[in-house]
């Protein structure tokens, strides 16, 4: 694992953060730094908002249903809203007792809280939270990409994240945007050596999706790596590193323990997931379905896109490794890909799960950022139109949940 940059390492803009300016003035406070960061990120966030607004507009233009009926009332969205309204105790016809415990608690808790203090239904609150989280996620993607690849690449990466084939999920009442926001800012915290912040974000990520394990692994692995002995490492923040490594797993582990207590079995959560058809088999399930897709004479559009997304993700991960991307990004990207492709379950969800592995977009964003602006934005505009059309297909034509 490559050594993490220190606080005095020049960032992507070539300036080294310091606590005092050359004239001796104190470094700006947190509010000033956040404001400055927002000013740098606003072009990316504005372009992202336009891309997602286009996607939603195309969906609504092709659906007789209203916005919330299309984006906040179907598939997993309905489960999260139901949990927010009724809680977890319930029995399902297929999955049996404790079936709702497969859905982690942070998102439904936020929905319930927002619906309680705002004049919103639980369904509307779920969608508003997901949309706000998508903005924070896009900002987090920008912050990470700017740190490691520069501002222009960061802008392109954010737009690309907003127009990937399954980007429609970023406008639905799903947990992908909330999780991506937590993961991206946790990565940024590790890159800037804010270990306690990274650990707290990992806790919340572990309470959002099962793939929160990837964020936990990233934080713990990087913290422990920093603790390794070596020359010139006497000033390591040992206490903060140990605290981060100990705190980061608490969210996921506490939920695992709570479900075990409710189920009366130490592996209660794993049993609940098995009832939903989800286990870890090392990728055999994914390979079987890929072989079935490519072995058919007639392939549905969604299956073809999912298979292409999986193949592209593997290739892009290899490119990231060959390009020697920073260690935290590689640990997170590898962990996400292993979890996503190594588990059984609903094959159509694989591409949706990979939405959160935004690190894989960097090898595509970097060369596009070096192209002429007219060429880059023409390519992105065309991709946005195709993504919007495909998103409309997923929600208005396809019979499968994304």
Domain range list for the chain: 44-249+361-396
Percent over 90 (pLDDT), the chain: 85
Rounded Cα distance between 166 and 177, Å, is 12
Whether 10 has a pLDDT exceeding 70, the answer reads: no
CA angle 202/204/209 to nearest 5° reads: 95
Distances (CA, A) of 208 to 63, 110, 143, 144, 201: 30, 11, 21, 21, 11
CB-based contacts of 53: which residues, under 8 Å, 6+ apart? none
pLDDT classification of 17: cutoffs 50, 70, 90: very low
Instruction: Write the DSSP assignment of 53-102 as a string of letters.
Output: HHHHHHHHHT-SS-HHHHHSSSTHHHHHHHHHHH-S--EETTTEETGGGG
pLDDT in tens, 361-399: 999 999 999 999 999 999 999 999 999 999 999 999 997
Rounded Cα distance between 223 and 238, Å, is 9
Give this prediction's pTM: 0.93
CB-based contacts of 193: which residues, under 8 Å, 6+ apart? 4, 5, 6, 7, 237
pLDDT classification of 6: cutoffs 50, 70, 90: very low
Whether 13 has a pLDDT exceeding 60, the answer reads: no
- b/e string for 43-64 if b means 16 or more Cβ within 10 A? bbbebbeebbebbbebbbeeee
pLDDT in tens, 144-201: 999 999 999 999 999 999 999 999 999 999 999 999 999 999 999 999 999 999 999 9
Q: What is the pLDDT of residue 258?
A: 98
Whether 132 has a pLDDT exceeding 90, the answer reads: yes
Distances (CA, A) of 143 to 47, 192, 306, 339: 15, 11, 28, 25
Secondary-structure breakdown of the chain: helix, strand, coil percentages, each rounded to the nearest 5: 70, 0, 30
């Amino acid at each position: 694992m490559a050594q993490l940059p220190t606080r005095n390492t020049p960032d992507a803009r070539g300036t080294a953060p310091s606590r005092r300016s050359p004239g001796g003035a104190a470094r700006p406070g947190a509010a000033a730094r956040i404001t400055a960061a927002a000013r740098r990120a606003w072009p990316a966030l504005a372009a992202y908002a336009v891309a997602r607004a286009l996607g939603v507009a195309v969906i609504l233009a092709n659906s007789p249903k209203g916005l919330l009926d299309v984006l906040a009332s179907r598939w997993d969205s309905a489960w999260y809203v139901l949990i927010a309204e009724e809680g977890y105790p319930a029995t399902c016809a297929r999955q049996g007792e404790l079936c709702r415990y497969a859905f982690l608690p942070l998102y439904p808790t936020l929905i319930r809280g927002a619906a309680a203090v705002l004049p919103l239904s639980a369904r509307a609150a779920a969608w508003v939270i997901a949309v706000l989280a998508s903005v924070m996620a896009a900002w987090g993607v920008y912050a990470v990409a700017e740190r490691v690849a520069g501002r222009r690449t960061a802008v392109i990466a954010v737009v690309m994240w907003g127009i990937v084939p399954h980007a429609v999920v970023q406008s639905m009442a799903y947990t992908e945007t909330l999780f991506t926001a937590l993961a991206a800012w946790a990565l940024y915290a590790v890159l800037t050596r804010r270990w306690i912040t990274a650990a707290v974000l990992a806790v919340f990520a572990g309470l959002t999706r099962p793939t929160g394990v990837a964020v936990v692994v990233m934080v713990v692995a990087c913290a422990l790596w920093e603790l390794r002995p070596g020359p010139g490492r006497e000033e390591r923040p040992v206490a903060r590193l140990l605290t981060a490594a100990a705190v980061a797993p608490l969210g996921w582990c506490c939920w695992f323990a709570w479900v075990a207590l409710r189920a009366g079995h130490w592996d209660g959560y794993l049993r609940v997931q098995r009832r939903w058809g989800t286990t870890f088999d090392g990728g055999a399930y994914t390979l079987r379905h890929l072989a079935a897709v490519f072995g058919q004479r007639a392939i549905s559009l969604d299956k073809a896109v999912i298979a292409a997304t999986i193949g592209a993700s593997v290739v892009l991960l290899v490119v990231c490794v060959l390009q020697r991307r920073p260690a935290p990004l590689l640990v997170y990207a590898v962990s996400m890909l292993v979890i996503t492709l190594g588990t059984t379950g609903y094959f159509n969800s694989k591409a949706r799960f990979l939405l959160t592995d935004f690190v894989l977009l960097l090898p595509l964003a970097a060369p596009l950022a070096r192209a002429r602006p007219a060429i880059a934005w023409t390519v992105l505009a065309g991709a946005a139109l195709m993504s919007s059309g495909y998103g409309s297909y997923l929600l208005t034509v396809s019979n499968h949940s994304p």
